[in-house]
Structure 1
Amino acid sequence: MSEQIAEGKIDHIDKKILEIMQDNAKTPYSQIASQLGISEATVHLRIRKLVNAGIIKRFQAVVDPEKVGKRVTAIIAVVAIPQKYSQVLKQLEKMPEVYEIFDVTGEYSTILKVRVKNKEELAKLIDEIGNIDGVENTKTMYVLRVIKEDTRIKIE
């Protein structure tokens, strides 16, 4: 089984375990075993192999950003000078308000997902990003409401 996982191939039991764990990573191994008709030891071994193979990257709580004071979400598109792009990315990675960074094709170099307390903090962050050496310009889209946001990966 470890050879299959190393190649990124997982069987139907691994897929079911991943689906259950994505819905609730605190699901007891005994409950997973019962649902899948396998032993608790098998569940434990399979999860450990999925972690070791890097398929499960980490276990974490999904926190509601608004309930912890991050009431403003924005998408910021950044155009960077190609020769300074890697330095720009390094600076963006250091910013705690930047939650996701996407290297994209098209007219922008990168797309950011940011979360801040309020619009004043957003204005400050936009200025900070615009002042990074190598950033030519930015375009900010203020998120009015989130229609769908899912951290789970569909496993086929």
Structure 2
Amino acid sequence: MDEVDRSILAVLEKNGRISNNELAARVGLSPSPCLRRVRQLEEAGVIRGYRALVDPAAVGRSLRVFAGVRLMRHTRADVTAFERGITQLSEVVACHHITGNFDYLLQVEVADLPAYEDFHANQLAALPGVATVTSYVTMKTLSPDIPSRP
């Protein structure tokens, strides 16, 4: 991967819908070599896909919660059972296996606090091996690429 590939990736990370002609102009290539490089990056797995960033509030998920989860035991079977279960919960937007005070850090999006209470009690805490859940409610999200919600 060279500097041109890095430039292509930087542009695509900000706008995955950019036309090949515009992308080529921004990185200083003609369209054919630019498209060839993008396809090579896709085939190599460097570019894993493209997706829409949906405003959670617009689809009824205006409450974002980060939940730290500790497991009771760390056997392979317990970890596998938890991970299998967590991937089935549509409210979980991201799940990170981490070091520190928790075993997992989840990003959860739901309609409101009663919906999170229901999710916490009836789905998350009911997963195999869960010992504790510590929840952090998001008040505001700041990102250089995404305008924050009011």
- TM-score by shorter chain over 0.5: yes
RMSD of equivalent CA atoms: 1.5
Distance 2:63 2:39 in 1: 37
Distance 1:95 1:75 in 2: 14
Query: In the alignment, what sits opposite 2:62?
Result: 71
- The letter of the residue matching 2:91 is E
**Per-residue deviation, 1:13:** 0.8
Match of 1:140 among 135, 138, 141: 135
Query: In the alignment, what sits opposite 1:116?
Result: 110
Secondary structure of residue in 1 paired with 2:107:
strand
Distance 2:113 2:15 in 1: 33
- The letter of the residue matching 1:48 is R
Distance 1:82 1:111 in 2: 16
Match of 1:82 among 74, 78, 82: 74
Query: In the alignment, what sits opposite 1:154?
Result: none
| Unpaired segments ≥5 residues, structure 2 | none
1:33-44 matched pairs, under 5 angstroms: 33-44=24-35
Secondary structure of residue in 1 paired with 2:87:
helix
With normalisation by structure 2, the TM-score equals 0.88
Per-residue CA distance 1:129-152 (angstroms, 9 max, x = gap): 11122111111111111123769x
Asked if 1:56 is matched to 2:56, the reply is no
**Per-residue deviation, 1:37:** 2.8
Per-residue CA distance 1:2-45 (angstroms, 9 max, x = gap): xxxxxxxx111111111111111111111122233322111110
Percent of aligned pairs sharing the same letter: 22
Per-residue CA distance 1:69-108 (angstroms, 9 max, x = gap): 1100001111112121221111011101001111111221
Q: 1:36 to 1:106 in 2, by over 3 A?
A: closer
Match of 1:100 among 68, 85, 94: 94
Contact 2:14 2:145 in 1 (8 A): no
What is the total number of aligned residue pairs between the two structures? 142
Q: 1:117 to 1:105 in 2, by over 3 A?
A: same
- The letter of the residue matching 2:80 is S
With normalisation by structure 1, the TM-score equals 0.85
Query: In the alignment, what sits opposite 1:5?
Result: none
Distance 1:36 1:145 in 2: 34
